[in-house]
Amino acid sequence: MRFLDAIRVALDQIRVQKLKSFFTLIGVIIGVMFLIGVVSIVEGLNHKIEVDFAGKFLGVNTFNVRRMPNINVGDVTEAEWRSWQRRPKITKEDAYAIKAALPEDARWAIQDARTVNAQSDYKRAGAPVLAEAVTPEYFTIKDITVSKGRLLTEQEEALGTNVVVIGTDVADEYFPNLDPLGRTLRLEGTEFRVIGVMDKQGKSLGFNFDNQVFGPFNSAMHLVTYSFRDIAGIVVQAPNENALSDVQAQVRELMRRRRRLHPGDPDNFVLETTQSAFAAWDKVKQVLVLAGIALPTIGLVVGAIVIMNIMLVAVAERTREIGIRKALGARRRDIRRQFLVESSTLSVFGALLGIAGGFGISGFLRLVDFPTTVAPWSILLSVAVGGGVGVLAGTYPAMRAARLDPIVALRSE
C-alpha cells in the first residue's frame, strides 16, 4: 500500500466512524488544545509586560538611573528593601553630571513623579493624578505625542513656565465637554496652564497612562513632586541597541566616582533596563512554558494508549486482509508502514482539532480582555507531537501485524 493510500484509509475510518474516532483522539485533542492555550496565555502576558508595559515605562534602548528598582516582578526580602532605603538619593546634580558625560548622540531627561490632588474651575475635586516633573527630551525618549496643542519646549523649561501636558483621562475628568487648551489646572493649589493633550496611551497591568500630567522640571512642578529633596530617576537613551551597553558603562563609572565607591563595593544605585526589570519574570515565564508543555503530556500519554488499543483492534479485525496482502507479495515493512501511517494520520488529525480548540481558547480570552498570543512554534510543536504520538502508539500494533503468518491470517474469519 502506498503512503497516500494509507493516509486515505485512515481518513476513511475517521469519516465512517466519526464518534469512535473522536473518542479515540480525545486525549490528543485535549493535550494539544491545552498546550496551545497555556502557551498563548504565557506569550500574551509576556508581550503585555515586556513590550506594552515596559516599552511605555522604560522606552527603547533606554535605561533609568534610580535609587532602587522601579519595577519588581519577583519577591524582595525585607533586608534587601532596607538596604535600598539606606542608599544615597538621586539628585538633580547627579542628573546634570550625567548629561555632561554623555556622548552627543545620546538623549537624557529628568523625571520625578508624585500622585497629587487636582482641581479646575469645572471640577472641584476629582480622581488623583500622577504629576510628573520632566525635562523636554523625556517626550522624545518615551515617544509621547499629542492629539491637541503641543509639548513642552526648552524655553519653558529654562524659564520655569507653569505649563502642563495632560492625559486624555485628565482632560475628560477636569474639563468635561470642553477644550482644555489654555485653561487652568491646579495641582496642590498651584496653577498650571494646559498647552497640550497627549494621544491616548491606554492602560497596562493596572497602570493608567492617560491619568498623567507633565510639567517642566524647573517650573513649580518640581515643588509639587518634591523634587527639591531628590528625584525619582534619570532617563538615558542610547542612539542604538549596540551602543546601550557602552552608555550604561559610562554612566555607571560616573555614578560610582560621584559616590566614591571602591572597586570592590557594590553599586548603591540601579541602572534599570527592560531586561533587568523583568529578570524575575523571565524565570517565571520559563516555568510556565515548561508547565504548559508538561501538563498536556498527561493527555497525550492517555491518547497514545487509546490509539494503540484501537490499532490493536484494527489489526485483529483486518487479519485476513493482512494475510491476502502478504500472499500477494507485501513485505513486513510494507505492512508495518501501513499501520504506522494510519496511526500517525489519526494522531495528527487529532492534533489539528486540538490546535483549533487552542485558537478557540485564545480567542475567547481576548474577548474578555485577557492578553493572549498564539506562538507559531507551539503550532509546529503540536503537529510534531501529534505525529510522534501516532508513531509511538502505532509501533507495537504495526510490528504485530507485520509478524502475522500469512497462512494463519488467511484462515481467519
310 and 246, same structural domain? no
State which of 209, 237, 268 marks the end of a domain: 268
State which of 221, 243, 268 marks the end of a domain: 268
State which of 268, 289, 311 marks the end of a domain: 268
297 and 168, same structural domain? no
Written as one string, the DSSP assignment of 75-109 is ---HHHHHHHHTSPPP-HHHHHHHHHHS-TT-EEE
Specify if 80 maps to a domain.
Answer: no
Using CA atoms, how far residue 117 sits from 21, 31, 126, in Å, is 65, 52, 8
The model carries a pTM of 0.62
Q: How far is CA 399 from the centre of its chain?
A: 46
Specify if 57 maps to a domain.
Answer: no
- Which of 233, 280, 251, 235 lies closest to 50 in space, CA to CA? 280
251 and 140, same structural domain? yes
Specify if 133 maps to a domain.
Answer: yes
What pLDDT score was predicted for residue 221? Answer: 95
The total number of structural domains that make up the chain: 2
CA pair distance 212, 202, nearest whole angstrom: 11
354 and 378, same structural domain? yes
245 and 128, same structural domain? yes
Domain that includes residue 143, residue range: 88-268
Specify if 170 maps to a domain.
Answer: yes
Specify if 79 maps to a domain.
Answer: no
What pLDDT score was predicted for residue 386? Answer: 79
Report the DSSP pairing between strands 190-198 and 163-166.
Answer: parallel
Written as one string, the DSSP assignment of 49-70 is IIIIIHHHHT-TTEEEEESS-S
238 and 98, same structural domain? yes
112 and 36, same structural domain? no
287 and 264, same structural domain? no
CA pair distance 164, 173, nearest whole angstrom: 15
Specify if 63 maps to a domain.
Answer: no
264 and 285, same structural domain? no
Per-residue pLDDT reduced to its tens digit, 193-209: 999 999 998 876 667 88
What pLDDT score was predicted for residue 182? Answer: 95
Specify if 173 maps to a domain.
Answer: yes
- At residue 103, what is the residue type? P
| One-letter-per-residue 3-state SS of 269-329 | CEEECHHHHCHHHHHHHHHHHHHHHHHHHHHHHHHHHHHHHHHHHHHHHCHHHHHHHHHCC
The C-alpha angle 353, 384, 391, rounded to 5 degrees, equals 95
301 and 261, same structural domain? no
CA pair distance 46, 51, nearest whole angstrom: 8
Using CA atoms, how far residue 163 sits from 33, 133, 157, 255, 399, in Å, is 54, 11, 10, 32, 82
148 and 25, same structural domain? no
The pLDDT profile of the chain, 413 residues, written as one tens digit per residue, is 566 766 776 677 667 666 667 777 788 888 888 888 888 887 787 776 665 655 566 667 888 899 887 755 456 678 888 888 889 999 999 999 999 999 989 999 999 999 999 999 998 888 899 999 999 999 998 888 999 999 999 999 999 999 999 999 999 999 999 999 999 999 998 999 999 999 998 876 667 889 999 999 999 999 999 887 789 889 999 988 889 899 999 999 999 999 999 998 999 998 887 665 555 566 667 777 777 777 777 777 777 888 787 777 777 766 777 677 767 676 777 777 777 777 787 788 888 888 999 899 888 888 887 778 888 888 888 888 878 887 788 787 777 777 766 665 555 55
258 and 186, same structural domain? yes
CA pair distance 200, 114, nearest whole angstrom: 21
Per-residue pLDDT reduced to its tens digit, 266-287: 999 988 876 655 555 666 677 7
Dihedral class, residue 169 (left if φ above 0, else alpha if ψ from -120 to 50, else beta): alpha
Specify if 122 maps to a domain.
Answer: yes
Using CA atoms, how far residue 204 sits from 49, 70, 208, in Å, is 8, 15, 7
